Amino acid sequence: MRSVYAWSAIAAIVLTSAIGDVLLARAMKQVGDVGALWRRTNLWIVVGRILRNPYFLLGVMAMTVAFYSLLFGLSWGDVSLVAPASASLTFIANAIGAKIFLHERVDRRRWLAALFVAAGVALLAA
Amino acid sequence: MFAAAGDSLISCGMKQTGAVSLAHLPSIILAVLNPSVALGVLFLLAFFAAYMMTLSWADLTYVLPATSVGYVLLALVAKFLLHEHVSPTRWIGILLISTGVAFATSGPASTPVPPARETEKLDAEAVSVGGHR
């Protein structure tokens, strides 16, 4: 029963942090290259535009939910399961999310990168 | 610019992972009182800023594997500065992450996107806003 709680927390973390990452990435793509904007205008205009972007705010909210899910997950399950499992699966969920929602060209190289990193992160904490 | 952004991102990512593990090990209430958490939050903010800057010009599927170099650096710091024992399983993990990062960074950093018009429009807005100052 305990492991059901832990795994549902892991699922919640993976889902919300992937949603958050995709939303933040979309927000930053809308804002445009921050370095180039900064050179042309000034820092506060860039920061203001980022903060006014609705996707950015939604993304931060999703990240907050992910963080609280992590706290819940850590109280329900072992750190050695919840932290690496959620970190590792997030890489794969993000690749899927980026392909579907951001229309990034996720070629075989990038799938391999996501899989290798996910496996490596899982092993690091094992 | 490429290397500088990547380096700052990676080093901040490393600090972030370190800070997060510091923040999670004690109980959550105690963590709030812990002064090292304040430093952790500061690093988190720095990481977040660098992360956002990089996301503004590179793909998510490119940036995420790149940030995972932080895990490798963390393990190396543990080995050489803290003299912790790094088990063979972890070395394999480090190897896998490095391979994954190599895969990602050998490709292009961003998908060539057609909606360049939108960016130009935003740029024009930025210039006009900046012009009023």
pLDDT in tens, B83-118: 778 888 888 888 898 888 888 777 677 766 544 444
Cβ pair B59:A34 closer than 8 A: no
Closest CA to B111 of A23, A107, A28, A53: A107
Contact A38, A31 (CB under 8 A): no
State the pLDDT at residue A34.
Answer: 78
For the residues A12-28, what does the mean pLDDT come to?
91
Rounded distance between C-alpha atoms, residue B90 and residue B81, angstroms: 17
CB of B82 within 8 Å of a chain A CB? The answer is no
CB contact under 8 A, B100 and A79: no
Spatial separation of the C-alpha atoms in residues A47 and A43, rounded to whole Å: 6
Nearest-angstrom CA–CA distance, B107 and B101? 10
Q: Which two tokens stand for residue B75?
A: 């393990």
Nearest by CB to B126, from A21, A28, A40: name it.
A40
For residues A97 and A18, the answer to whether their CB atoms sit within 8 Å is yes
Per-residue model confidence as pLDDT tens digits over A90-114: 989 998 988 888 888 888 888 888 8
Q: How confident is the model at residue A59 (pLDDT cuts 50, 70, 90)?
A: very high
Q: What does the pLDDT read at residue B35? A: 63
User: For every one of its 133 residues, what pLDDT tens digit does chain B have, with 9 covering 90 and above?
Assistant: 455 555 556 665 555 555 555 555 555 555 555 566 666 667 777 778 878 888 888 888 888 887 887 778 777 777 777 777 888 888 888 889 888 888 877 767 776 654 444 444 444 444 444 434 3
d(CA A26, CA B40): 27
Neighbours of B120 (CB within 10 A): 11
Number of domains in chain B: 1
Alpha-carbon separation of residue B28 from A58, A71, A87, B33, B49 (angstroms): 25, 8, 20, 9, 25
Specify the amino acid at residue B22.
L
- Calculate the alpha carbon distances from B108 to A109, B64, B97 in Å: 10, 14, 19
Beta carbon pairs, A and B, within 8 Å: 153
ipTM of predicted assembly, 2 dp: 0.78
Distance (Å) from the C-alpha of residue B37 to the closest C-alpha of chain A? 15
Q: Does B69 touch chain A (CB under 8 A)?
A: no
Owning domain of residue B69: 2-132
Give me the residue from B28, B107, B129 closest to A110, CB to CB. B107
Q: Do B97 and A22 touch (CB under 8 A)?
A: no
Q: Do B107 and A45 touch (CB under 8 A)?
A: no
Q: DSSP 3-state assignment of A1?
A: coil
Chain B residues inside the 8 Å CB shell of A124: 71, 75, 90, 93-94, 97
Residue numbers in A near B77 (CB within 8 A): none
